[in-house]
Chain A
Amino acid sequence: MNKLLSIAAAAALAVALSAGAAAAKVKACWIYVGPVGDFGYSFQHDQGRLAVEKALGDQVETAFVENVPEGPDTERTLERLAREGCNVIFATSFGFMDAAVKVAKKFPDVKFEHATGYKSAENLAIYNARFYEGRYVVGQIAAKMSKAGVAGYIVSFPIPEVVMGINAFMLGAQTVNPDFKIRIIWVNSWYDPGKEADAAKVLFSQGADIIVQHTDSTAPLQVAQEQGKLGFGQSSDMIKFAPKSQLTAIVDDWGPYYVRRVKEVIDGTWKTQSTWEGMKEGLVVLAPFTNMPDDVAKAAAETAEKIKTGALHPFTGPITRQDGTVVGEAGKSLPDTDLLSMNWYVKGVDDKLPQ
């Protein structure tokens, strides 16, 4: 019944609008790679969508499609949303990139935004978060807290974003313990709680005593909690799942960015751009430092502060790569383009990068 009413209301509104009434609502749409209930990456993007609804109220209408596979289905979903009258569409996963480029070309009047990629167009903007800043701090904490000097690292796919994370973590850890080791397991999935838990168990059995993840579920932290080991939350604050194990979490706060961009669409000032914001802008936030001594927490807070002010860049040259070659000029940070296409490990990582 409610549905019927709202359809009737919509029809009435459409008539009113065609009669030349006031400004139309802007429709903002999102597609997520996982379910909004993953309590990780997609969940955080959806929190951003809810922030838009809250901040812009009547001016905006939002919609989302979750669990969109990276592949041909992406294109279909994006096209459908564009046809259904979305004015701006946020494609929130790296693997949506090529589909977004294609569909953006087909619908020049619709604005597209793609997260974590590197291809843009007149109506396709790129936005990204400097997650690696958080991972550098996390690396320092891990090296201080690990008794074994070994961390287990659960990862999804070998894309630059993930490789960058591993390297930033290692560089952070090496400032504390030059011999720090990581064991890496690729689960080839962004989201499979069972597999992530299994990988965590295997890593602990191999002598790691801290777990880091670049996958989206809370499962690895739960294993850490169960076995009395330590770990870090991913994308959202997962302290409820591991009150005795979570040291901190790298939290993505997309809300302010989404509100700003949708506002620009409403005002007609939206332009394509490529933004890459981090801890300074508040897009990447570290959850409270817990389960660690005060001096470790203090040091971590100091590092975070330095990154925020720009005094410290995790990828400051010279950096020795795994194969022994050196990149970057002394005292200068690597350019963003190098970071966004990173396909090499830093020295000290005992893993072969899948190609």
Chain B
Amino acid sequence: MDVLQALILTVITAATPLLLAGVGEAVVERSGVLNLGVEGMMVMGAVSGFGAAYLSGSPYLGVIASILAGMALALLFAILTQTFLANQVAAGLALTLLGLGLSGLIGESFVGLPGTKVEKLVFPVLSDMPFIGRILFAQDLIVYLSFLLTAVVSYTLFRTRIGLIIRAVGNNHHSAHALGYGVIAVRYLCILFGGACAGLAGGYLSLAYTPQWIENMTAGRGWIALALVVFASWLPWRVAMGAYLFGAVTILGFFVQGMGWGIPSQFLSSLPYIVTIIALVIISASRTVSRANAPACLGQSFVPDR
């Protein structure tokens, strides 16, 4: 039982950055914008979060800084793609390269410094529940935020007027424009929201997961989050499931290796990708549903006709 509990706790830490970045990106893509710069925003969030926490001594200031850093980079992307109508794919890739380079530059003096960690917030009574208590009620702030984020985003997108507008903008920007909605403004806000989530995901890496700054510490997690969004057919709760599944299979792979059962490690390391893809393909097998979910205007620039 203790082993299982420890494993589940590890799965949550492994999945949280994917979940945060993925859910944020799902909102961005729902509004019809493809931002491939998740990795760049994430790594900027990581370095800014670490830096702010180190200089101020408060990990919570670090969390705020990581969110702001992600948003700053997202704002750049929004200006390029929404105001100046730059190609979204190219701008997104540029954002990733910029983020990786800039974070290395900013973080040079932070290398090799031990960081401050976001503390666990333990709920007194609830956390004493057998088994699930420690898992659900003794996490750090960012993990709670990730639970909350999935629920709020899912609800907002599909049960509120705001969500309807976002989806309308993503599905048919000309109609949304004709109805009087500010397509560009909605997209700006969604991009900023996605940036905040990606930044927070980065902050989680440098403030909770492995509290330190090292260059490229995101190690491709932004790309995995991006892929999850597509395979989860743009549904936030499926993104969350995909993130946990990915984390679970990764950790299970380590567990099997540690047991020394002789299953080739190369196979085990490819397993998270295989299993996640298969699972998400199966649950989104229905063509009509997945077509209905894919934002029709994804990646297209909007130029209002006069």
State the Cβ distance, A235 to closest chain B Cβ, in Å. Answer: 12
B86-114 near A? 1/0 per residue, CB < 8 Å: 00000000000000000010011001111
A265 to chain B, nearest CB (A): 28
Tell me if A202 is interfacial: C-beta within 8 Å of chain B.
Answer: yes
Shortest distance from the beta carbon of A151 to any chain B beta carbon, whole Å = 11
* Contact pattern, A 166-202, Cβ under 8 Å of B = 1, otherwise 0: 0000000000000000011111110111111111011
In the bound complex, residues from chain B placing their C-beta under 8 Å from that of A95 are none
Residues of chain A lying within 8 A (CB to CB) of residue B167 = none
Knowing A184-B258, A188-B265, A354-B266 are in contact, say whether A195-B215 is a contact too (CB < 8 A): no
Decide: B3 and A205 in contact? CB cutoff 8 A.
yes
Kindly state whether residue B180 has any CB partner on chain A within 8 Å: no
Query: How far is B269's CA from A219's CA once the two chains are assembled, in angstroms?
Result: 19
Instruction: State which of A33-41, A49-57, A116-124, A288-296 sits at the interface with chain B.
Output: A33-41
Query: Judging by beta carbons under 8 Å apart, are A202 and B262 in contact?
Result: no
Shortest Cβ gap from B259 to chain A (Å): 7
Within the assembled complex, what's the spacing in Å between the Cα atoms of A350 and B261? Answer: 9
Chain B residue with the shortest CB-CB distance to A186: B265
What mask results when residues 1 to 43 of chain B are scored 1 for a CB within 8 Å of chain A, else 0?
Answer: 0110011011001100100000000000000000000000000
Asked if A193 and B254 sit within 8 Å, CB to CB, the answer is: no
The residue of chain B having its C-beta at the shortest distance from the C-beta of A197 within the complex is B210
B251 at the interface (CB under 8 A from A): yes
A38 touches B212 (CB 8 A): no
B209 interface residue per 8 A CB criterion: yes
Contact of A222 among B107, B205, B211, B213 (CB under 8 A): B211
Whether the Cβ atoms of A202 and B258 lie closer than 8 Å is yes
B254 touches A202 (CB 8 A): yes
Q: Considering only CB atoms, which chain B residue lies closest to A196 in the complex? A: B210
Q: A67-B216, A194-B205 are in contact. Are A202 and B210 (CB under 8 A)?
A: no
In-complex Cβ contact of B108 among A37, A188, A189, A203 (8 A): A37
**Which residues of chain B are near A241, meaning CB under 8 Å?**
114, 212
Q: Which residues of A contact B264 (CB under 8 A)?
A: 352, 354
Q: Is the CB of A193 within 8 A of B257?
A: no
Is residue B217 contacting chain A, with contact meaning CB distance below 8 A? yes
CB pair A218–B214 under 8 Å, yes or no, is yes
Contacting residues of chain A (71-107) with chain B, CB-CB under 8 angstroms: none
Pairwise interchain contact A201-B6, C-beta atoms closer than 8 A: yes
Contact with A along B232-272 (1 / 0, CB 8 A): 00000000000000000011001101111010111001000
Chain A residues closer than 8 Å to B219, beta-carbon distance: 189, 191-195
A191-B219, A192-B219, A194-B14 known; A37 and B111 CB under 8 Å? yes
A307: min CB distance to chain B, Å: 28
Known contacts: A188-B265, A195-B250, A198-B251. The answer to whether A240 contacts B13 by CB under 8 A is no
The 5 sampled A-B contact pairs (Cβ below 8 Å) are A187-B254, A193-B219, A194-B209, A203-B254, A222-B212
Q: Which 3 A-B pairs have the closest CB atoms?
A: A35-B215, A205-B6, A186-B265
Name A residues whose Cβ lies closer than 8 Å to a Cβ of B: 34-39, 43, 66-67, 152, 183-189, 191-199, 201-206, 208, 217-219, 222, 240-241, 350-352, 354
